[in-house]
Amino acid sequence: MNKRVLITGGAGFIGSHICEILSKKDYTVIIADNLSQGNYENIHKFKNIKFYNKDISKDEIEEIFKEEKPDFVIHLAAQVSVGNSVNNPYLDAEINILSTIKLLELCKKYGIKKIITASTAAVYGDSKYIPIDETHPKEPFSPYGLSKYTMEKYIELSNVPYIIFRFSNVYGPRQKISGESGVIAIFSKAMENGEIIKIYGNGDQVRDFIYVEDVAKIFVKAIESDVKNKILNFSTNKGITINELFKLMSKIYDYKLSPIYKNKKTEDIEISILSNEQAKKLFKIEDLTNIETGLKKLKDYR
C-alpha cells in the first residue's frame, strides 16, 4: 500500500536525503518548505515528489493536509542556529515552538499515524557524564536548546503518536554553512578554496558527528516500524575534538594551512557525546558510517 509522507523542511539538508530514500521506495512524498534554508535543486529530480513552497509558521498549511491526506509527518522545518537563537530568541521560539504546536493540531485533526521529528543534543547542556543517555538532566543554556526541549514537551502532551530523535552533530552532502552544526561544512569549503580556518576556543571541544545518510535511514525505519512515543538519541557514540577533526580533514583534503584560534563562543558546549544504545536496539542498527569514511564521501560528493 502506498504511504504518503509530509515532510516539513523537506528540501533542506536532512530532509532531502530522507526524500531520496522514500522516493526510491515508492512512497508519495509531500514537501512543505519555504526554501529559506532548503534548496529545490536538492529534490527536483526525485520521483513521487509533491512540493509546496510554504512557510509553516506563517502560511496556511491545512490545505496540504486536506489535499494530500498524509499518513505520516516528518517535521524538520526549524531554526537551527544557536547563535541566531541568542540574537533573536523570539523568532527562534516562533519557528521551533509555535509552528510545531500548529502542526500538532493539524496532525490530531487529520488522524496522522505518527509524527517524527528532529531535536538536538543541545537540550542536555554541558554533560554531567559521558556518554549522555536519554535520562541525563536537561539543562539547555541557549534559546535554541530550550525551544527544542519545549517542542518535545508539546509533542509528548499532544496525544499524537511520535518519535523524537535527539541528534548529535549531523554532517554530509547538501549541508549549508551555518552554526556550530555546520563545522564540517565550514571546514570543507575553506579547505577546497584554500582559505584560513577559524577555530573558536582551544579546539579541544569534543563532538559526536553522525553522517546524514544514517540519519535519513533511521527516519525511514521510524515510519516502517511499530515503535512510537519514544524520545531517542541518535549518534555514533564516539567523540572527536575539533583539533582532531581539523587534522583528519586536512589529510583528506591535502590542506596545508594552519588554523587561527579565536575566543570561545559563550554558548558552546565543551563535550557532547550521545549514547545511541536505545535507538540501535529498537531499530536493529548495526553499522554506522565512521567519521573518516563519511568525510571522504563528502569530499567525493563535491
For 16, the grid coordinates are: 532531502
Looking at the chain, which runs of residues are DSSP E strands? 4-8, 28-32, 49-52, 72-75, 114-120, 162-167, 169-171, 198-200, 206-207, 209-211, 230-234, 240-241, 260-262
Whether 144 is a known active-site residue: answer yes
**3-state SS string over 210-249?**
EEHHHHHHHHHHHHHCCCCCEEEEECCCCCEEHHHHHHHH
DSSP label at residue 41 = G
Of 144, 171, 211, 255, which residue is the catalytic one?
Answer: 144
Residue type, position 192, single letter: E
Q: What is the DSSP string of 189-217?
A: HHHHHTPPPEEESSS--EE-EEEHHHHHH
Which residues are known to be catalytic? 144
